[in-house]
Structure 1
Amino acid sequence: MPLNTITIKPNNHRIYQCPNEKKTELLNKLINESDSEDIIVACSRDAKKIQEGLDNKEIRVLEDKEFVQDKDVKCAYLISYDMPIKDIVYIARVAKATQKAVMLLDESEQKELHAIETLLGRAIKQERIAGFEYEEKAKPKEPARKKLSKDEIKEVAKKRYEKSTQEKPKFDAKPKYDAKSKFDKPKKDDKFDKKKKAPKAKTTGKVIKVKAKKK
């Protein structure tokens, strides 16, 4: 079986959100809840310091380099105390577990999780345990609004009313578009229009008939 083959079910592989300063406390809580299981704590560094903080001194705490050197090491329950230096190393950690694996993740380590999930091919379920949540960042407070007296409120309302009732400036109306105007332009003489005829002269007055006299 390849070293980086994960055999545990996805539902048994998860992340617990936990600030760095509370990790030792949460680690002891998880160990005490599963004291009958074969547990290994994995870390990238400071294995001795983590070991000293455990209530159960029989629990093994191994750094990543020890996982790489000892290919035969296995455990039922793997607890990752921190984020490994490389994403492939985390896969090698979880491959040592036969039943379940969890990781304690500080908020600052969240950005490094994407590479691991990409390599794994799925997202790892995250959970919060009461008392170990991330601290909520305080939202900036809005400046307190000055409270107005009744007289000041009346004065503000009066000014708004006067402003709204002021006569709006009148603007000169734009000249209306005259559709006929564009047809009133003088036409150019067409010198080349041979068919064009001069208008007939109009005749005025009565018509006089003249009869020739017979000789």
Structure 2
Amino acid sequence: MGTRASERGRPRPRPAGVSYTKRIVIVPPDPTWPARFQTVARQLRDALGERVSGIHHIGSTSVSGLPAKDVLDVQLTVADLGTANDVLALLAALGLTLRPEVTADHLPPGLELPPADLAKRYAHRPGELHVHIREEGRFNQRYALLMRDFLRAVPAARDAYAEIKRQLARLQPADTEAYYAVKDPVMDLLIAGAEQWAARTDWHLPPADA
């Protein structure tokens, strides 16, 4: 959810920015996910200070009631992605693994966007944490937050997405290529509904979670 990536900014059938495990394991919603995020967010804020303007909990673990892989997704917002190297160095000092080859997010079909609107930087703690660095006001920074808030606000969309994830994990538990080849187009369909919801509700970017 807002975390798909392409190493060169082109549409791809799977997220290059997320490390694969041998199996796709979707677990029931875990009530500890918000608290785990807050612990991570405090560590990030203490380390990064004002280098980031916002720290947000994104992805499926940020949506109450949504099954997910047991890995947190965090979005760090920066004023200028050109300064991200300083942030990445501090993330490395916290023990995260840097993925310098990941430089852009997935482009939904039918959209024409400048490369800067998809640019990102990425680091992770495999099996535990994904950290996405995006520039304030860019398409990809907004996408992750809009999708999160839409799924939080519209239970029917959340539950339909949950069922798709469960069935994909059941049918393709060891084939991550197949899992993401289906999941990514589903997300592209969901964002169309999210944009309609945003227009109807006058949605705006939310304040930082930390």
What TM-score does the superposition give when structure 1 sets the normalisation length? Answer: 0.27
Q: Which protein has the bigger helix share?
A: 2
Q: Work out which structure has the larger RCO, using CA pairs closer than 8 Å and 6 or more positions apart in sequence.
A: 2
Rg: which structure is higher? Answer: 1
